[in-house]
């Protein structure tokens, strides 16, 4: 069972997403909040697997709430940011803060369910082509700092590049002529060395470090 919390200052949005989650056998709605401060209380009390997080809210916005949730190393809670349009600088800021993915508020119910399952499983980056386009747009203006890569081996840099291009572990294994288990191990080491929670953060790091350039194939 995947435990889900919804954070949005619009009651209709919470009700709509809540109704979808409540009708799916492997999802459980464990809490709701209408601002970032209450979101932190819900996460501390319920320890959801996934939080659906709005960005623009009173008192504490979704970006700072996401940063505080993902900064807790004792928690495995993942955050999916809710937005009205995909190329949004606030969504990029939320990904920088540790969000695992973003979801359009007008997404189809099956897209919502799929997003929650993917992020909870930590197996792949949600909608990698869309996320990559978002990151490319805003990372181009960010200062390049490759010092974060200093502890990576050449093979690990290669793996990080492939993750940033949206490849799954199986695709990375095929590309590098290694087993799926070896590819998974490499990705795990990169996550650990860069102190990243998931693949979304790896993509942001790859672009902001200059390892991958916007527009590169």
The 10s digit of each residue's pLDDT in 102-143 is 888 888 999 999 999 989 987 655 555 667 777 777 777 777
Identify whether the C-beta of residue 159 lies closer than 8 Å to the C-beta of residue 186: yes
Q: Is 166 helix (H, G, I), strand (E, B) or coil?
A: coil
Mean pLDDT across the stretch 23-27? 96
Residues 190 and 153: their CA atoms lie apart, in Å, by: 9
Residue 217 pLDDT:
60
What pLDDT does 137 receive?
78
The predicted pLDDT at position 144 comes to 77
Once rounded to an integer, what is the mean pLDDT over residues 134-156?
85
* Eight-class DSSP state of 153: -
> What is the rounded average pLDDT of the residues 64-78?
90
- H or E, element range at 159: helix 154-164
The pLDDT, as a whole number, for residue 138 is 79
Q: How confident is the model at residue 68 (pLDDT cuts 50, 70, 90)?
A: very high
Give the list of residues 6+ apart from residue 2 with CB closer than 8 angstroms, or none.
26, 27, 28, 49, 50, 116, 117, 120
Token look-up 């969000």 returns: 99
Q: Can you tell me the mean pLDDT for 151-170?
A: 92
In the chain, how many H helices and how many E strands?
10, 5
Query: Treating both helix axes as pointing N-terminal to C-terminal, what angle do 62-71 and 89-97 enclose, rounded to 10 degrees?
Result: 20
pLDDT at 157: 96
Q: What is the mean pLDDT of residues 91-108?
A: 88
Percent over 90 (pLDDT), the chain:
59
State the pLDDT at residue 116. Answer: 94
The answer to whether the beta carbons of residues 99 and 66 sit under 8 Å apart is: yes
For residue 22, name the pLDDT band (cuts at 50, 70, 90): very high
pLDDT higher for 31 or 164? 31
Name the percent of the chain lying above pLDDT 70. 93
């Amino acid at each position: 069972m995947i435990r889900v919390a919804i954070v949005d200052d619009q009651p209709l949005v919470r009700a709509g997403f809540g109704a979808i989650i409540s009708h799916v056998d492997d999802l459980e709605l464990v809490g709701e909040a209408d601002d970032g401060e209450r979101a932190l209380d819900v996460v501390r009390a319920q320890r959801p697997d996934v939080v659906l997080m709005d960005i623009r809210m009173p008192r504490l916005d979704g970006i700072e709430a996401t940063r505080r949730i993902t900064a807790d190393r004792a928690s495995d809670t993942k955050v999916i940011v809710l937005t009205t349009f995909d190329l949004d600088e606030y969504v990029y800021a939320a990904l920088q803060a540790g969000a695992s993915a973003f979801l359009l508020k007008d997404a189809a119910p099956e897209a919502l369910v799929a997003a929650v399952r993917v992020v909870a499983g930590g197996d792949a980056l949600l909608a990698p082509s869309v996320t990559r386009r978002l990151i490319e747009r805003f990372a181009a203006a960010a200062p390049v700092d490759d010092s974060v890569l200093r502890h990576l081996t050449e093979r690990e840099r290669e793996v990080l590049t492939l993750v940033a291009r949206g490849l799954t572990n199986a695709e990375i294994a095929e590309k590098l002529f290694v087993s799926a288990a070896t590819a998974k191990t490499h990705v795990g080491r990169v996550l650990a060395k860069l102190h990243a929670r998931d693949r979304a953060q790896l993509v942001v790091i790859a672009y902001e470090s200059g390892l991958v350039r916007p527009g590169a194939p």
